[in-house]
Structure 1
Amino acid sequence: MDLILMRHPPPEVATNVCYGRTDIAPLAAGFDVALAAMHARLGRVLGERKPTVIHSSPLRRARVAATVMADRFGVPLQVDERLAEMNFGDWELRAWDDIDRSALDAWAQDVAGFSPPGGESARDVALRMEAWAQALRAQASRSDDVHVVVAHAGPIRLRTATALGLPTTACLSWALDFGGLCHLHIADDGQTRLIRWNA
């Protein structure tokens, strides 16, 4: 099975703002261009194949793009809460500069285990992504299935680390552009190979 994880198009939010689970729409200006670029990237990876299913985070910045892609390919769309971005709790929609410095330092000291007040940790996200991946493997009917996911940078990086057997936070510093994709091949025995990153 091939798993292609794509980061959503740019969201309608300032770059200095902490956002995660907040349901922000994709940036209207340039959305069609961003979506066309995503479709072209995916087409280069797929070649003659087509996705079995398009999966999506429920958040609009991912779901809008995933809906259009599913329509274009004529395949089902599956929206799953477990694909949402990390919940930053009380930090949501606050400027990074306005968040208490000691709290940010505590997060930096324990990126995997620290949860912002009212939010979740990277480990929490990795666990829900693992639960989603296990359910996907259980439902995949053929070894040549291609599952495409439109989601968020955090969950994509964390899923990649878990799939490759790396420490939870190993991929958090890896650059992943808006619209960029990660291509994983999952063998019948569950062994996973990274084919492309930020392609």
Structure 2
Amino acid sequence: MDLILMRHPRPDVPGNVCYGRADVLPKEDTLEAATRQMCSRVLATLSGARRPVAIHTSALLRAQRAAERMAFEFQVPLLVDERLAEMNFGAWEMRCWDDIARDDLDAWAQDVCGFSPPGGESAREVVLRMNAWARALRSRVSSASEVHVAIAHAGPIRLHTATALGLPTTTCLTWPLEFGHLCHLHVADDGRARLIRWNA
């Protein structure tokens, strides 16, 4: 199976604001163009006449709005799954990063996998739900040639990529992944993956 994980288009929120599970909207004035570019990126990473068999998406609107348009463009099912959501930052949600206590941010940096913001979730919890989603997807795949596209979020995409490649959890956290760009993995039946493209 080929799995293409795409970061959602740019949301309508300032860049210095912490947003994770907050359901911020995509920038409406650029959404159509961004979605067309995302479709083009999917086709550019595939060989021959291959096309997605389904578009999967986080339930958060910044992902789902683009996924709806992509599913229509490719004429394939749209599958919404809460497990593809961004990390829940709890009490930090929609606060400026500069307003979050330095001690809390330092505690996070010292334990990236295990630390949870107050009322939020840890990176380890994100890994577990992303892995559960990926296992469920693999169990439904009927052909090794299938292509599945998931519109999700930078954190979960980076964390899942590290897990799928058999790397330490935090390996990919600093890898740049721009809005509307993709990670292309070829996934074996056992879940181990080979990275085809990153930030394409």
Q: Do they superpose with TM above 0.5?
A: yes
Q: Does 1:140 align with 2:141?
A: yes
Partner SS for 2:29: coil
Q: TM-score, normalised on structure 1? A: 0.98
- Which deviates more, 41-50 or 55-64? 41-50
| Structure 1 counterpart of 2:35 | 35
In structure 2, stretches of 5+ residues that fail to align are: none
Q: Does 1:121 align with 2:122?
A: yes
Q: Could you tell me the percent identity over the aligned residues? A: 66
Cα separation, 2, equivalents of 1:189 and 1:15: 38
Partner SS for 1:112: coil
Instruction: For residue 189 of structure 1, report the CA deviation from its aligned partner.
Output: 4.3
Matched ranges for 1:75-90 at <5 A:
75-90=76-91
Name the Cα RMSD after superposition: 0.9
Q: Which runs of 4+ in 1 moved over 6 A?
A: none
Number of equivalences: 199
- Which deviates more, 88-97 or 187-196? 187-196
Query: Which amino acid is the alignment partner of residue 26 of structure 1?
Result: P
Cα separation, 2, equivalents of 1:115 and 1:66: 29
Q: TM-score, normalised on structure 2? A: 0.97
| Structure 1 counterpart of 2:11 | 11
In structure 1, stretches of 5+ residues that fail to align are: none
Cα separation, 2, equivalents of 1:147 and 1:83: 14
Cα separation, 2, equivalents of 1:95 and 1:189: 41
Q: Does 1:98 align with 2:99?
A: yes
Instruction: For residue 31 of structure 1, report the CA deviation from its aligned partner.
Output: 1.6
Cα separation, 2, equivalents of 1:66 and 1:18: 23
Cα separation, 2, equivalents of 1:110 and 1:188: 32
| Structure 2 counterpart of 1:21 | 21
